[in-house]
Structure 1
Amino acid sequence: MTTTSESTTTTSAQQYMGAVAPKLASLTDDVLYNDIWARPELAARDRSLITVAALISGGNHEQLRYHLNLALKNGVTETELVEVITHIAFYAGWPKAISAVTVAKAVFGPISL
């Protein structure tokens, strides 16, 4: 996501971390989003499912909110994301899944399946 002013374009990565870690913001934009996420071998929907599973597995819940929202934009349903969380509980650990549910509740609102 980018915002544009008169002559500059600022990406979400630049807004979030550019003042502290400009090179990391640049790598995020140039390599991660403009290369890895753009590769045609996997659809953005599939990449979102993989990313959500990896973030939960690694206990990286700080970034999970952003990627749950991105997954929804990429066509993954709330029901599918909750199923990912449930499935991951048995492979990555119950506490990580419960923490992910907390983040999902904040993103989706109350979960009632």
Structure 2
Amino acid sequence: MTDQPKQIGGGRRTLGDFAPKLAALTDDVLFDDVWNRPELSARDRSLITVAVLTAGGHTDQLEFHLGRAVENGVNREELIETITHVTFYAGWPKGMGAMGVAQKLFAE
């Protein structure tokens, strides 16, 4: 799975001046290390991340990661199906919130 594009975080770009350590950990550990491990493709990691963020009700982070999932080759129908599936395990309000974020993303 080494033929995938390198995953790059935006921590320094978004938080670098305000929270430099968190920004560095986001970019250097989460993205540069964890997201680029060869055991899972970036596409698989995106699906897992969307599922976990949906289950946790973390819609602020979900907005970014839905876009990242599309960049990593996950299509609209797969994302809608992922959120629908997670809704039954994580709870209706969390699923509806996540689907609202997806709807907004795909309307743009």
Q: Does the pair score TM above 0.5?
A: yes
Greater per-residue strand proportion: 1
What is the CA-CA distance between 1:51 and the residue it aligns to? 0.3
Match of 2:42 in 1: 44
Paired with 2:15 and 2:61, the residues of 1 have a C-alpha distance of 13
**Percent of aligned pairs with the same amino acid:** 55
Pick from 55, 75, 86 the counterpart of residue 88 of structure 1.
86
Q: Which has the higher contact order (CA 8 A, sep 6+)?
A: 2
Aligned length: 102
Query: Could you list the runs of 5+ residues in structure 1 that have no partner in the other structure?
Result: 3-10
TM-score in terms of structure 2 length: 0.89
Match of 1:6 in 2: none
Pick from 62, 66, 89 the counterpart of residue 60 of structure 2.
62
RMSD of aligned residue pairs (Cα, Å): 1.6
User: Given the alignment of the two structures, is residue 76 of structure 1 paired with residue 67 of structure 2, yes or no?
Assistant: no
Give the greater-gyration-radius structure (CA).
Answer: 1
Q: What is the one-letter code of the residue matched to 2:27?
A: D
Query: Could you list the runs of 5+ residues in structure 2 that have no partner in the other structure?
Result: 1-6
Structure 1 residue ranges, 4+ long, deviating more than 3 angstroms after superposition: none
TM-score in terms of structure 1 length: 0.85
